[in-house]
Amino acid sequence: MTFVDHIISEVDTALRTIFPPKHRLCKRNSPGNHIEDTPLSDKQKKQIAGLMRVNHAGEVCAQALYQGQALTAKKQEIKIKMAQAAAEEVDHLAWCEKRLYELNARPSLLNFLWYTGSFMIGAAAGWAGDKYSLGFVAETERQVSAHIEGHLQKLPEEDIKTRVILNQMQEDESQHAEMAIQAGAAELPAPIKELMRITSKLMTQSSYYF
């Protein structure tokens, strides 16, 4: 694949991530497909939609991070692992989008910003070296998993459909973090971890509403 082909592919991936179709194709069906909708109040639907909008924005960031790292990773095996993880994140995007549409809600209007920033971070991490690139993956997935855990605690008990979706997403994120660690992820310096947490907090607070 030529450099121009890579650029075209990345732009295509970015557009499909930022501007979701009504029905996104994915390898795995949503875990919530077999769960019947339960009656929810308008207030509960609004809360759940906000949480799922945040989760969707997080998956946009993860997709961009993996794409950026796959582009600049030095070892071919790392590129392959990043591409595989990115493919699983597409499943998560599809699941979150489907649930949002079921709630008559939409993804975040700020996804362009989240994708652009995360792609640049991913590409920079790849240039810094595969160990640091994997370190970003491990830390990102730890923080995403922690966010999902917090959302699981906030969900109304009767919303089983969203719960099973988030449970599967959390399991996948833990596997991605373990993959990065097993592949030789370096521990990130504490200031970088804190910066990631601050950035993540900004994303979650704004995406909940916008």
Which residues does the annotation place in the binding site for Fe cation?
A: 59, 89, 92, 141, 173, 176
Residue closest to 62 by CA, chosen among 205, 164, 186, 180: 180
What's the Cα-to-Cα distance from 188 to each of 51, 63, 132, 147, rounded to whole Å? 28, 20, 7, 19
Please say whether the beta carbons of 93 and 20 come within 8 A.
yes
> How many of the other CB atoms lie within 10 Å of CB of 162?
25
Residue closest to 69 by CA, chosen among 15, 23, 5, 136: 136
Q: Count H helices, E strands: the chain?
A: 7, 0
**CA 149 to chain CA mean position, Å:** 14
**Which residues carry a binding-site annotation?**
59, 89, 92, 141, 173, 176
**CA 166 to chain CA mean position, Å:** 12
SS3 186: coil
